[in-house]
Amino acid sequence: MWRRVLALIRKELLAVLADPRSRAVLIGPPLLQLIVFGYAASFDLNHAPIAIYNQDRSLASRDLVARFSLSPTFTVKRVLSSGRRIDALIDSGEVRAVVVIDPRFTRDLYRHVPAPVQVIVDGRNSNTGLLIEGYAGTILSDFSRAWSASHGGDPPPAVLDIRALYNQTLDSHWFIIPGIVALLTQVVTLLVVGLSVAREREIGTFDQLLVTPLRQIDILLGKGLPGLIIGMGEATVIIAATVLWFHVPLRGSLAALYLALLLFVLAVTGIGLAISALSATQQQALLGAFLFMVPSIILSGFATPIANMPPWVQWLTLLNPMRYILVVVRSVFLQGADLSSLGAQLWPMALIGVVNLAVAGWLFRKRVI
């Protein structure tokens, strides 16, 4: 039996690699997404355009303005001489925020009473707005501390001292790129497995397979295992790129990571086989794959934290294998996790995998053979 399954796997791999379109599916999206997520997508704020309306024009206020303009977070695009244009600038989106320094700024500093600085933030993108608020606050408190140190006066009564564990510089790439390992493995496995039966149905070779002595289980294995092999291969390439190219540290156990990936790919293969069984054409299969893929990414914690979702959606995410693998990937990469600490993620994936494969087998029997 294994000889036959092996022949099927060999054929499947040859066909995927020889067909320019499926080759493109294996190479195109991973490359594109690595570039997009590796370089373009980031939660960090960089070079946000701001305007400054400095009504004080003293040494102290110029020092504060310099802190804003030297910060990599902000780029000072406009220096205003009146407050009239503030609304228009924010409205047109030319600047994301305007820093307004009060005429009494220096006087109040010397008097040791709170010296007012207003930051008007574009709140249309709440996420960016919050980030600007945070960065502006940091710049201002740094300034206050430096001012008290050099000019006397009471230091701020309480000081926040933040130290980030696992990702000391809070570089959001470290959060995103390991997630891509899970994301791309899912995309590729799903497409390879989901389209393989439909492709054969379209060209008519599937009937040919069914009349050979291959049994249902042989065909199921022959269609599922190539996806597993390709998915694991894809994961390896992306792990290598994450470590060697993007220099994200891999601190935990590689064996634990691979075991988790194997369970994840099995679960996704089950979904791919189910899509395969249900779709008659490659177009339907592609549609089915995306129908699954989009919610599974949104409900995985890839970009938005699951803890922020409403409770019933959080319950829903428990069915999503990607939810678990993301935790595994991130904790192995950044936190140095090993097998013993990952049990809570592994057994749900294994359970989902078993259920998916069983359903796929049942659908195959009902719809295909």
Partner 1 sequence: MTESPAAASNAADEAIRIENVRRSFRSGGRTVEALAGVTAWAARSRITGLVGPDGAGKTTLMRLIAGLLLPDSGRIEVLGVDVAREPLAVQGRLGYMPQRFGLYEDLSVRENLDLYADLQNLAPGARAARYAELMHMTGLEPFLSRMAGRLSGGMKQKLGLACTLVNPPALLLLDEPTVGVDPVSRRELWQIIELLVRDSQTTVLFSTAYLDEAERCAHVLLIHEGRLLGSGPPQDFMAEMSGRSFLATAPIGRRALQESLAETAGVIDTVIQGGRVRLVTAASADPQAIAAGIAGLALTPVPPRFEDSFVARLRTRAVSGERRPTPEVAVTATAGATGGEGKREAVISVQHVTRRFGPFIAVDDVSFEVARGEVFGLLGANGAGKSTTFRMLCGLLPPSAGALRVAGFDLRTAAAVARRRIGYMAQRFSLYGDLTVRQNLTFFASVYGLSGSVQTRRIEWAMTEFALGPLLLARANDLPLGFKQRLALACALMHEPEILFLDEPTSGVDPLARREFWRRIGALAAGGVTVLVTTHFMEEAEYCDRLLIMSEGRVLTEGTPDAIKAAARRAELPDPTLEDAFIAAVGARGAAAA
Based on the shown chain and the rule CB under 8 A, indicate whether residue 18 belongs to the binding site for partner 1: yes
Strands across the sheet with 48-54, in order? 74-80, 48-54, 97-101, 117-121
Based on the shown chain and the rule CB under 8 A, indicate whether residue 205 belongs to the binding site for partner 1: yes
Q: Which residues pair with 177 in a beta bridge?
A: none
Q: Which is nearer to partner 1, 1 or 351 (CB)?
A: 1
Q: Which is nearer to partner 1, 220 or 325 (CB)?
A: 220
Report the C-alpha gap between 318 and 327 in whole angstroms: 12
Q: Which is nearer to partner 1, 27 or 313 (CB)?
A: 27
Question: Closest by alpha carbon to 293, among 184, 199, 220?
Answer: 184
Window 277-316: contact mask with partner 1 (x via CB under 8 A): ----------------------------------------
List 150, 203, 307, 311, residue binding partner 1 (CB under 8 A) = 203
Based on the shown chain and the rule CB under 8 A, indicate whether residue 44 belongs to the binding site for partner 1: no
> Assign residue 158 a region: left if phi > 0, alpha if psi is -120 to 50, beta otherwise?
beta
Question: Closest by alpha carbon to 234, among 196, 177, 161, 185?
Answer: 185
How many residues form the binding site for partner 1 (CB under 8 A)? 24
List 160, 211, 310, 343, residue binding partner 1 (CB under 8 A) = 211
Question: Closest by alpha carbon to 110, among 146, 142, 75, 147?
Answer: 147
Report the C-alpha gap between 191 and 234 in whole angstroms: 13
Closest CB 169 distance from partner 1, rounded Å: 47
Report the C-alpha gap between 296 and 223 in whole angstroms: 23
Based on the shown chain and the rule CB under 8 A, indicate whether residue 59 belongs to the binding site for partner 1: no
User: Stretches 8-16, 28-36, 184-192, 320-328: which one binds partner 1 (CB under 8 A)?
Assistant: 8-16
Based on the shown chain and the rule CB under 8 A, indicate whether residue 14 belongs to the binding site for partner 1: yes
Report the C-alpha gap between 353 and 96 in whole angstroms: 46
Based on the shown chain and the rule CB under 8 A, indicate whether residue 4 belongs to the binding site for partner 1: yes
Q: Can you give the binding site for partner 1, defined by CB under 8 A? A: 3-4, 6-8, 10-11, 14-15, 18-19, 203-205, 207-215, 218
